Amino acid sequence: MEAKVIELYQNGVSMDKISIQTGYTKCRIIKLLKKLNLLNTKKRRQQHFSKFKSGELRNSKRVSIEIENRIIELYSELKNLNKVGQIIKMQSTSISRILKRNNIKIEANAIGEKHPMWKGGKTANKGDGYIGIWSPGHERADGGKYVYEHTLVYEKHTGKLPEKNEVLHHIDLDKHNNDITNLFLCNHKKHLSIHRQIEKLIKPLMEKGLIIFENEEYKLTI
């Protein structure tokens, strides 16, 4: 039976099929191959890849060889996963797996002006609705190289950054109004106190029916 295991393995038969045909467990098969110095994972990968490309091992749920070749062709030309995905109508993660399977090096993610979704270096959704400005190299930049716009405005006008325990409060509560006159520097405790003051002012207005909660949001009735 050991000879049968060796024969099947050298013919590129999968471990699962060898186990079924011989009754050996995978662990036992691997131990035998290691003992005989026959275990060669690199060669096995090449064998399986060759069979996969020929269609012999291709899962019916996977893309066809024609589409896979088209993806490789497009990526070689465009060097951009998102653009290839838009053309093929496929997620970039799936395209990435196909390229890796074909030993094609994927270019590093484009950032800044080179990114396909670049919109001028300004985003209105940098955490809880605040505006972010593309500022690579800035000490307050996040993982995406963006810094809060109100932080940059304060730094420009004062020559310093808010301390770690300080917060910039938007006086009119509009997070997009980052004019220096609309920014009030305070610590976290004071900031919490300010918002509690706002809540206390709103409560009597709600009691009088001037502010209502309807369709999952607050509304003025006047």
Entry pTM: 0.50
The whole-angstrom distance between residue 61's C-alpha and the CA centroid of its chain comes to 25
List the one residue out of 177, 171, 163 whose CA is nearest residue 129.
177
Position 161 confidence tier, pLDDT thresholds 50, 70, 90: very high
Residue given tokens 């998102």 in the structure block:
82
Query: How confident is the model at residue 196, as a pLDDT?
Result: 94
Concatenated DSSP letters for the chain?
-HHHHHHHHHTT--HHHHHHHH---HHHHHHHHHHTT---HHHHHHHHHHHHHHTSS--TTSPPHHHHHHHHHHHHHH--HHHHHHHHT--HHHHHHHHHHTTPPPPPPP-GGGSTT--SSEES-SSTT--EEE-TT-TT--TTSEEEHHHHHHHHHHSSPPPTTEEEEETTS-TT---GGGEEEEEHHHHHHHHHHHHHHHHHHHHTTSEEEETTEEEE--
Q: Using CA atoms, how far apart are residues 56 and 173, in angstroms rounded to an integer?
A: 63
pLDDT computed for residue 53 by the predictor: 57
Does residue 102 contact residue 72 with C-beta atoms inside 8 Å? yes
> What is the chain's mean pLDDT, rounded?
83
Residue length of the chain? 222
Better pLDDT: 37 or 53 = 37
Please write the tens of the pLDDT for every residue from 175-211: 999 999 999 999 999 999 999 999 999 999 999 999 9
